[in-house]
Amino acid sequence: MTDAVSVPYVTPIRLFVTADLRADAVLALTPDQGHYLEHVIRRKAGDLVRVFNGRDGEWVAAINDLRKGRGGLRVLSQSRPQGVSPDIWLLFAPIKRARLDFIVQKAVELGVSGIRPVFTRFTNVERVKENRLESNAIEAAEQCDRLEVPEIYDPQDLDRVLDGWDPARRLIFCDEGGDARPMLTALQAAEPGPYAVLIGPEGGFHADERARLRALPYVLPVSLGPRILRADTAAIVALTLWQSVLGDWRG
């Protein structure tokens, strides 16, 4: 493995790339990346950035050229090897755009490995722009020092998602019905493994959806407390609790 780069100051600027990373590789910047480096944060040829692709760890690279929003990078050496992240998905009913952006950004910061929009009976948003979800996920991963970007799944109806579910992945159902165990208590008695968290729409789940979910052997119904939380708040609370008990926040 290439030795970690030794520089007096490792830049906080990080870019997600899709190309393979190795010493002396030359990478082309996308127009958006070139514009960001040249016009937003005022970088120039010779300045350092950090790059990652979700496979090869993180590398330090030097800007080769930067003119009119175009340019390239030369990869120097690895600064961090690729690690293993917790296997936790977030399933949520789409909501209005600004709060949807917030959910994706915070889910990435909280370590999710997969983001799956699901349409329920009471979902009041009919369409999701997957490229916007992906852009938000990339930006959040760059900002929070993650070495990978979560997978963004195509939006599907909840029933179809459940029809194709792998029962090896436990599904934490955040149920507002009032008779589920507190999530912290439920997780403390749960086994490690791949998990997913399901957050419902603003109007809650339909009775038929609740009945189907609670009848499935891999579903773990939980309560997030005595108050009804907004969808974005519920996502943050549930992911925080999972990370604290079964994720990479454990001591």
- pLDDT by residue for the chain (251 residues), tens only, comes to 444 444 445 678 999 999 999 999 999 999 999 999 998 999 999 999 999 999 999 999 999 988 876 889 999 999 999 998 899 999 999 988 788 999 999 999 999 999 999 999 999 888 889 999 999 999 999 999 999 999 999 999 999 999 999 999 999 999 987 689 999 999 999 999 999 999 999 888 999 999 999 999 999 999 999 998 999 999 999 999 999 999 998 75
Same domain, 159 and 216: yes
Q: Which of 64, 80, 96 is the last residue in one of the domains?
A: 80
| Residue-range definition of the domain harbouring residue 205 | 88-245
Same domain, 204 and 109: yes
Task: Assess if residue 251 is contained within a domain.
Answer: no
Answering whether pTM is above 0.85, one says: yes
What is the number of structural domains in the chain? Answer: 2
Task: Assess if residue 75 is contained within a domain.
Answer: yes
Can you give the chain as a three-state secondary structure string? Answer: CCCCCCCCCCCCCEEECCCCCCCCCEEECCHHHHHHHHHHCCCCCCCEEEEECCCCCEEEEEEEEEECCEEEEEEEEEEECCCCCCCEEEEECCCCHHHHHHHHHHHHHCCCCEEEEEECCCCCCCCCCHHHHHHHHHHHHHHCCCCCCCEECCCEEHHHHHHCCCCCCEEEEECCCCCCEEHHHHHHCCCCCCEEEEECCCCCCCHHHHHHHHHCCCEEEEECCCCCCCHHHHHHHHHHHHHHHCCCCCC
Same domain, 74 and 124: no
Same domain, 112 and 186: yes
Same domain, 122 and 18: no
Same domain, 155 and 45: no
Task: Assess if residue 174 is contained within a domain.
Answer: yes
Same domain, 72 and 196: no
Q: Which of 32, 48, 80 is the last residue in one of the domains?
A: 80
